Amino acid sequence: MKRWQFWAGVAISVVFLWLALGGLHLADVWQSLRTANLWWLLPGIAVYFVGVWARAWRWHYLLKPLKAIPTNAMFPIVTIGYMGNNIYPARAGEVLRAFILRRKQGVPVSASLATIVVERIFDGVVMLMFVIFNLNGLAALSHDSGFVGSIRSVAVWGTVAFAVALAVFLLAAMFPHQSLGLFHRFAEPLIPVRFRPRVAGMLTSFWTGLEALRSPLSILMVFLTSVVIWLLETAKYWFVMFAFNFSGYTGGFFGLMLMNGIVNLATTIPSAPGYVGTFDAPGIAVLTAYGLERSVAAGYTLTLHAALWLPITLLGAFFMAREGLRWDKVQAEYRELEQTEAAR
């Protein structure tokens, strides 16, 4: 709460919320919420948790070269991580699940963080696919999106960034000695001498987490699993759609795929915990561009956001309490763990 990054994220979220809700008649939004058939959230939440299980399997697969850990042991850790992303700033849930994995399974934090970064890159690539499959629809969304230029520009630049990141990590995984050699030659001299051993050790551990990317079959498996994960999440968007009056909407399932891709690219922008505003503004803009009445688009997007946030946050909090962990205790143990790994 005392860090400037937290308040900067809050400020960004406030701006995005203003862009999302500005000009709306809140009475109309409330009417769309009041008349919604919220029973449709139940199948949406169910299919979403199937996707969370697929995420646990994907992480198990990425970690297999380091340690074989059953998917059912990974599921609670993944859930805790997503809970952490939802309530702590700066995606702290990613470090949280790496810490818990180290605590329970002995996998070095730097190595597991590498697999988490790989997950995020593949997620970005799938978002790129969702955009490519909807190029015709995207062309119709090139008007001002109301938050950062046009939706098309945001989507294109975001997906290009993920594609470049994937290429860099694939090359690093395929040529580990050469890439580490480049670090020692060009980057290490820029680091203060007293920090060099620690940074070099963490980087070497990080590189071991990329081992799964050295096999073409493993790359294919992770990619296909990522596609399944995001199609399942889009299925949740689709189920929640039936809770609202979507008359006038012309996008169909592919329009929801495009919405899913764009809102998840937008949530990479720093914001308050839970992606407040950065999820909602682009979601409302996409649906409105597809012909949906703006008040209905707002009611749907806010409901969808809550349905994505609340169930996994509650389940993650339950698993974290079961582990006997509190955030202050995690921070203290993590600092101690960092010092131990650095000494090694």
pLDDT tens profile 248-259: 998 899 889 989
Q: Check residue 152 and give its pLDDT.
A: 63
Of the pLDDT bands very low, low, confident and very high (cuts 50, 70, 90), residue 286 is confident
- Per-residue burial over 189-225, b if 16 or more Cβ lie within 10 Å, else e, is eeeeeeeeeeebbbbebbbbbbbbbeeeebbebbeeb
Cβ neighbours of residue 277 closer than 8 Å, sequence gap 6 or more: 12, 13, 14, 15, 16, 17, 19, 20, 271
Q: What integer is the mean pLDDT of 282-297?
A: 90
pLDDT of residue 137: 65
pTM: 0.85
Question: CB of 107 within 8 A of CB of 341?
Answer: no
Parent domain of 144? 4-343
Q: Which range has the top average pLDDT, 45-59, 283-297, 312-326?
A: 45-59
pLDDT band with cut points at 50, 70 and 90 for residue 339: low
Confidence of residue 2 (pLDDT cuts 50, 70, 90): low
If one counts the domains in the chain, the total is 1
132 vs 82, more confident: 82
What's the confidence (pLDDT) of residue 310? 95
Q: Which residue has the higher pLDDT, 168 or 198?
A: 168
- Top-confidence residue, 5 or 178: 178
Bridge partners (DSSP) listed for residue 150: 144
Average predicted confidence (pLDDT) for the chain = 84
8 pLDDT higher than 80: no
3-class DSSP assignment, residue 331: helix
Q: Say what the pLDDT of residue 273 is.
A: 82
pLDDT at 66: 87
